[in-house]
Amino acid sequence: MFRLFVVIGSILLWGGISSGFVSSDEHKSDGLSEEVKKLSRSTEWKQVEKIDLDFNIHHPQGMTKIGDLYYISSVEILEETEQYEEPKGGYERSPGEGIGHLFIIDEEGNLVEDLELGEDDMYHPGGIAYDGEYIWVPVSEYRPDSHSIIYKVDPKTKEVTKEFEADDHIGGIVKDEKNNNIYGVNWGSRQLYEWNGKGELKSVQDNNSHFIDYQDCEGVDKGNMLCTGLAELTADTDETYELGGLALLNKKTKEIQHEIPISEFSSNNHNITRNPVFVEKMEKGLRLFGVPDDDYASLYIYETETQ
């Protein structure tokens, strides 16, 4: 059963909020790729704002920003998946149960609208991206080597369109408005996908980088996509350290253009790139938005100046 309905915050009126929609040519920041390449391990990120969200965001996944509105995908878990002792039907775990969300949030952290996305066992949204016209959202089963639906959402009308399905867990998606191709990463971003505009698979190739697992990606200038995520590193003491990072990839060749670690943490000790992230270019540097924590969380904003 396909589910879609909208929840509108009781104290908010859509007409009083600036949508800030921009055209395909205007929504990307020219020069962002070059600014990213100036980042290094020694780059200093300064937290400039922390916005408390006024609702339960559950387990957020992907983020994009259009004008003064944030769009954040998230999964609400109703029943946890359970690991099988032996694989069943090619799966290592049960499907669990949940609800996929695309939350629309204003600059003060108020929930404006809630679009529910998903179908049957596919309830886990991934990283999202805006192509200047639509927001692209993959919704997958909450287990590797499974299945996904690729949606596009019109931010003006809130109309949701099911574009195609994929025979894997797709954890992030980017649409290139110039060549009309669609690029995705699977569970742990171990493989990189490319489809044509009709959803026909063009290629799958291994990700040669093992630095971080990509959580969220966004198309940027010069044919690149910017991905963020983390790797969980375990010491002999069984303590886990979240190594966050950022990777700039060429969409066509899948080659890494630049990678850097990020070691900023939330008040709950989660790396800022653990969950959804959006990066934009400033006049003299970059601004990073992240929601690293679950449930009743905050949106952190960091800035850095590049030389």
pLDDT of residue 17: 40
Contact assessment for residue 79 and residue 96, using Cβ atoms and an 8 Å cutoff: yes
| SS3 category, 123 | coil
Residue 145 phi/psi, 5-degree rounding, is 55, 45
Q: Copy the structure tokens of residue 70.
A: 């944030």
Phi, psi of 36 (to 5 degrees): -60, -40
169, 290, 287, 275: which is closest to 230 by C-alpha? 275
CA dihedral 162, 167, 168, 171 (to 10 degrees): -20
Contact between 248 and 257 under an 8 Å Cβ cutoff? The reply is: yes
List per-residue pLDDT tens for the chain, 307 residues long. Answer: 434 434 334 333 333 344 455 444 334 557 999 999 999 999 999 999 999 999 999 999 999 999 999 999 999 999 999 999 999 999 999 999 999 999 999 999 999 999 999 999 999 999 999 999 999 999 999 999 999 999 999 999 999 999 999 999 999 999 998 999 999 999 999 999 999 999 999 999 999 999 999 999 999 999 999 999 999 999 877 789 999 999 999 999 999 999 999 999 999 999 999 999 999 999 999 999 999 999 999 999 999 999 7
pLDDT at 236: 79
Question: What's 6-12+30-304's CATH class?
Answer: mainly beta
CB 140 within 8 A of CB 126: yes
pLDDT of residue 237: 79
Taking Cα atoms as reference points, which of 203, 280, 215 lies closest to residue 243?
215
- Domain locations in the chain? 6-12+30-304
Closest CA to 176 of 117, 228, 125, 222: 222
Per 3-state DSSP, what percentage of the chain is helix, strand, and coil (rounded to 5)? 5, 50, 45
| Residue 46 CB contacts under 8 Å (≥ 6 apart), including other chains | 302, 303, 304
